[in-house]
Structure 1
Amino acid sequence: MSSRETHLVELVDEAGTTVGSATVADAHTAPGQLHRAFSVFLIDDQDRVLLQQRAATKTRFPLRWGNTCCGHPAPGSTVAGAAAERLGEELGVAGVPFVEAGVYSYFAEDPMTGRVEREYDHVLLGRLPVGTQFRPDPAEVARLLWVSVPDLLARLASDPETYAPWLGGVTDRLVTHLSERSPERSGGK
């Protein structure tokens, strides 16, 4: 078991209220325990989002494409603080401010590993400065890919098994957040 599997996660109820803690391994063992998580989307100056292909060594959904990075805040940690730390660990990026785009609760079972995801997932967006360099950790990330949001939606519709099961739901939160912020919706302000 990797050391990350022994880290604690914050167990929550359906409303996101903290109810306890468990190890990552225990929270992801069937039938799973609902716990707080985060999914980060980084957006570049061309409004593309960064996807990562999860490393082959991941215990859940290895080699599937997901959002920029994911993780779990430790009990008592802030979601944004934990996301910033994880972004640094996985991609070597620091100093990105986040905006929360909503929460996506879901359950998914990995047929390859038998592990499960039962998560109360905070979707975070961060705008990257032009010229940001990445240093992906190969134990976490197999590949990176920039895609437009329409391209991502088309990819999810045409080949869903290539993608992590939460990606569709967190992308929906992203799309809703971006459409609520568009000039057309806000009267051009």
Structure 2
Amino acid sequence: MGSRESHLVELVDTSGVAVGSATVEDAHNAPGRLHRAFSVFLIDGEGRVLLQQRASVKTRFPLRWGNTCCGHPAPGVPPADAAVERLGEELGVGGVPLVEVGVYTYFAEDPVTGRVEREYDHVLLGRLPVGTTFRPDPTEVARLLWVSPEDLQERLVSDPDSYAPWLGGVTSRLVSHLSDSSHPPLLRSEWPGGE
């Protein structure tokens, strides 16, 4: 865990243009430094998205529910490439194509640890091949849960303190994308490994 805090993240301006780098730890110490991040949603054939409960050892928002996977690309690395690698590390899932469905910029302070999130967050969506299995890393993920986007929106309103503070914003980008008629859902036959 400590070694991940020393990894470099890409600092950005409010338009998402790279302006430098900092360690994960430095970027998340108050008042925080705006940096590039990614939030992945994996969706199944029934239209449900996978949530993860963040492990208790996380330095920011432990045991809160978040989207499928989050992380920070190293400077110069495309967010989708970094996210594919992170899905393998956290969930043991590889080879899922990801598309960007929006960007969400936010600031949040963890009341427990005092660490902050000040992120330019690329929201990514991947459609799971039929029969995908998961091998969650227990140092990253406490539990997994499948929910419909509509159910997730209701949960965020009824019990906001159980969820990571960015989840509402990234969920709104996802729902907007899914409801946009110019981005229809893929037919099962069009999915990777689908029939």
TM-score of the superposed pair, with normalisation by structure 2: 0.92
Give the corresponding residue for 1:26: 26
Partner of 2:119, secondary structure, is strand
1:2 partnered with 2:18: no
Listed one character per residue, the Cα deviations across residues 67-94 of structure 1 (whole Å, up to 9, x for unaligned) are 0000000001111110000000000000
Deviations along 1:109-167, one digit per CA (max 9) or x if unpaired, are: 00000000000000000000111000000000000000011110110010000000000
Equivalent-residue separation in structure 1 for 2:117 and 2:123 (angstroms): 15
Partners of 1:163 and 1:72 in 2: CA distance: 19
Q: Write the distance in 1 (CA, Å) between the matches of 2:150 and 2:10.
A: 34
Separation of aligned partners in 2, 1:109 and 1:176: 26
- Counterpart of 1:43? 43
**Separation of aligned partners in 2, 1:168 and 1:145:** 16
- Match in the other structure for 2:189: none
Matches within 5 A, 1:135-146: 135-146=135-146
State the partner residue of 1:89: 89
Distance 1:72 1:144 in 2: 21
Q: Give, in whole Å, the separation in 2 of the partners of 1:57 and 1:131.
A: 30
Query: What SS does structure 1 have at the residue aligned with 2:121?
Result: strand
Question: What is residue 64 of structure 1 aligned with on the other side?
Answer: 64
Distance 1:167 1:66 in 2: 6
- 2:174 aligned with 1:174: yes
| 1:45-100 Cα shifts (integer Å, max 9, x gaps) | 00000000000000000000000000000001111110000000000000000110
Q: Distance in 1 between matches of 2:127 and 2:157?
A: 25
Question: Are 2:149 and 1:149 aligned?
Answer: yes
User: Could you tell me which residue of structure 1 aligns to residue 13 of structure 2?
Assistant: 13
Counterpart AA for 1:65: W
Runs of 5+ consecutive residues of structure 1 not aligned to the other structure? 184-189
After TM superposition, the runs of 4+ consecutive aligned structure 1 residues lying more than 4 A away are: none
Aligned partners of 2:150, 2:120: CA distance in 1, in Å?
Answer: 25
Kindly, what percent of the aligned residue pairs are identical?
A: 79
Residues in 2 aligned to 1:105 and 1:79: alpha-carbon distance in whole angstroms = 15
Q: Could you tell me the TM-score, scaled by structure 1's length?
A: 0.95
Number of residue-to-residue matches in the alignment: 183
Partner of 1:187: none
> Counterparts of 1:161 and 1:33 in 2: how far apart (Å)?
24
When the two chains are superposed, the root-mean-square deviation of aligned CA atoms in Å is 0.9
| Aligned ranges 1:53-132 → 2 under 5 Å | 53-132=53-132
Structure 1 SS opposite 2:86:
helix
**Distance across 2 between alignment mates of 1:12 and 1:68:** 24
